[in-house]
Structure 1
Amino acid sequence: MSTTPTFIFKLFIIIQLLLGVHSVQAATVEHDAGTLTLTKTPTRIVVLAFSFADALAVAGVSPVGIADDGDKNRVIKSVRDRIGDWQSVGSRYQPSIEAIAALKPDLIIADTGRHQSIYADLTRIAPTLLLKNRGITYQENLEVMKKIAKAVDKIERVANRLAEHKTIMQHLKQQMKTAATFQFAVVTDKGMWLHSPASYAGSVIAELGLSSPLSADIDNAYLQTSFEQLLKTNPDWLFVGKYTQDTVLDKWQKSPLWKLLSVAKSKQLIEVSPSLWSLASGMLAAEQMAIELASYAKR
């Protein structure tokens, strides 16, 4: 009986070690600033782009902070439902260093295109992954998601969900056998920007086997477009995300030339969520976009 306390103590230590093995798991991740080695699995993560929040949602991890432009509805609902609440750390363009530091993160995931200039400041707060977001394509995003999965020790979970995602996308692709051309654009009172096949939305359209009226050789993801250029591009379907209530489309639609567009003749001008089609750029977003496209393309 005298050995019982010793046995219980040893058993307690073993249990603690088994429970703690996850938290001390080291991960080395290649990113746009070199190599980042994490000595433990992060639990307080701040993300500075919506696609990174999407990746964490897929991984089953909730960030403590998001650069959400001060508007939580800019994060698509399917992501919000999975990650719960978070603290805003300002805009994606100029996130608040003070707000990030106040959350005491143990990992920050930043956008190479927007945050390279503040990378040193971020690393003084917490280990920071610098990954592509702005101008990312569908396939590039899947690779970024795998890196995030490695950083948060969710490789197997994300791999399983990715396999499911590919099945979903293939199933939807098979429903969309059409020669029609599909184009997404964002529009404001200042102008229209077509998202080329080099953009996220454009590459999702291509992934689904749908044609773009724009050349696949275009390098620029976003093309500012005049009414005359839209007439020349002349897509069969035009999906638009409005960032302002009044847009240049209001003026263009009053022109006698508007009726020359295929979308005018066939009434195939479709308004969609800019948060989903332009801002989100993640796997969950791609599935929602594909579902929306299928609802039109299989008609």
Structure 2
Amino acid sequence: MKKYKNILWLMILAVITTSISGCTKTTGVGGLTNVQNTEKVDDTQLSITVEGDKYPLTVKDFLKKETILKEKPEKIAVLSGTPLNIWYDLGGKSVCTSDVSDNVKLIPEYREEIRNLPTIGPVYSIDMESVIPHKPDLIIAQVGTQSTQAKKLREMGFNVITTHIRGYDDVVSTYKAFGKILEKEELAETKIKELEKQKKEIVSKLPDESKSVVILYITSKTLAVKLDNSIAGDVAKILRLKNIASDLPPDTIGSETTPLDIEYIVEKNPDYVLVTSMISSNEEAIKSIEEEFNTNPVWSGVKAVQEGRVIHLPQEYFLYNAGPYYNEAIEYMAKNIYPEIYEEVNK
């Protein structure tokens, strides 16, 4: 009997562990919750690396999956806007892609071509049956929103690599990897040098005294706080801004958000409140956060809110990684925090 009790206990423990690791609830605006899928990822790992000077190449992606490319792929399906932008910037082409939001900042010379690509559904819910007929030699998917489909496509025999592009270093490693795959390494290095030069020019003008920020993240159902491993958090770090949430635990392993705690924000008294969003448009995001500030009296304790030091970060830079335009995101934040140095942003 004792043996059976032990087995039963292990079964219950396994169910509990699976439930905890599979999802989490984050309390947000109006007490609503958002269930988030999680993945155990190592944020210290590069987004993607490629081993080998020439074909065959071994690609190691963010999820530590290895793909051996015996020869240069001819038909590639890039399933997400951010890697697609970098891919095209290096002269690559795609046979299809997911629905591209109007807020994704596309490379002008390829904008129409990308907009006219066969679509396979929303980025967070791609239709695999629409990908298969294209018979791609290589599929480039996005970690998180497309990991499940990427796994299934890999099991079907396709070459699949997943990219994870949250910050500046991810952009650089993706350029390097794509440069090797496309046999455009010199062009990739040129692009990286341009990015690095622009970033250094911005950072060189920073004052010695740093400022503190909190980065709010608003969706149609939730309000949370962004950590350093988000796009906005990464840009803030580049600008030597102190993110007051840096030391707080994430919602789940690998998450870029932590639950909202207004009392903690009041206590830390940040110099600026930065607002990122995942709502239908930048305009709707501004309306939503202003309504939250006006209707929730707790925000009266946050001086930055009461004194108008609230900066709305546009989705084309801070929801979707701008890839080739990442330095524009850095410049946008810098101009808002230090207008006397970088000149005011045109609003």
| TM-score normalised by L of structure 1 | 0.77
Query: Does the C-alpha gap of structure 1 residues 255 and 97 become closer, same or farther in structure 2, counting only changes over 3 Å?
Result: closer
Whole-Å Cα distance in 2 between the matches of residues 168 and 43 of structure 1? Answer: 33
4+ runs of 1 displaced by more than 6 Å? none
Asked if 1:264 corresponds to 2:305, the answer is: yes
Alignment correspondent of 1:16: none
Partner of 2:104: 75
1:144 aligns with 2:174: yes
Q: After superposition, where does 1:275-286 map in structure 2 within 5 Å?
A: 275-278=316-319, 280-286=320-326
Distance 1:272 1:200, change over 3 A: closer
Q: In the TM superposition, what are the counterparts of 1:1-299 in structure 2 within 5 Å? A: 26-31=56-61, 32=63, 34-68=65-99, 71-77=100-106, 79=107, 81-82=109-110, 84-85=113-114, 86-123=117-154, 124=156, 126-133=158-165, 136-177=166-207, 178-216=209-247, 218=249, 220-242=255-277, 243=279, 245=284, 247=288, 249-278=290-319, 280-299=320-339
Distance 1:115 1:87 in 2: 18
- Relative to structure 1, is the Cα distance of residues 198 and 144 closer, same or farther in structure 2, using a 3 angstrom cutoff? same
Are the equivalent residues in 2 in contact too, given 1:46–1:66 (CA < 8 A)?
yes
Structure 2: runs of 5+ lacking an equivalent: 1-53, 340-347
Aligned-partner SS, 1:66: coil
Greater CA drift, 205-214 or 117-126: 117-126
How far is the alpha carbon of 1:96 from its aligned partner? Answer: 0.8
1:39-89: CA deviations, max 9, x gaps?
Answer: 333343222333312321332323332223xx4414224x36445322222
The code of the aligned residue for 2:148 comes to S
Once the 2 structures are TM-superposed, how far is the Cα of residue 214 of structure 1 from its aligned partner? 2.1
**Alpha-carbon distance in 2 for matches of 1:114, 1:76:** 19
Flag structure 1 segments of 5+ consecutive residues without an equivalent: 1-23
In structure 2, what is the Cα distance between the partners aligned to 1:33 and 1:114? 17
Task: Give the % identical residues.
Answer: 17
CA–CA separation in structure 1 for the residues paired with 2:93 and 2:247:
36
The aligned counterpart of 2:21 is none
DSSP-derived class of the 2:72 partner: coil
Larger radius of gyration: 1
CA drift at 1:144? 3.4
Q: How many residues align?
A: 270
Aligned AA for 2:259?
Answer: Q
Q: CA deviation at 1:141?
A: 4.0
The 2-side partners of 1:65 and 1:229 are apart by 45
In structure 2, relative to structure 1, the CA distance for the partners of 1:217 and 1:82 (3 Å cut) is farther
Distance 1:164 1:216, change over 3 A: farther
> Offset of 1:120 from its aligned partner?
4.6
Could you list the per-position Cα deviations for residues 186-244 of structure 1 after superposition, in whole angstroms to 9, with x for gaps in the alignment? 21342322211122320122123222222257554112315444434543222223415
Counterpart Cα distance in 2 of 1:148 and 1:200:
21
Whether the 8 Å contact between 1:240 and 1:272 is mirrored in structure 2 is yes
| Equivalent-residue separation in structure 2 for 1:154 and 1:259 (angstroms) | 54
Q: Report the Cα distance in structure 2 between the residues aligned to 1:205 and 1:291, rounded to whole angstroms.
A: 11
Q: Report if the CA contact (8 A) 2:311-2:336 is conserved.
A: no
Instruction: Name the CA shift for 1:238/1:25 in 2 (closer, same or farther; >3 Å).
Output: same
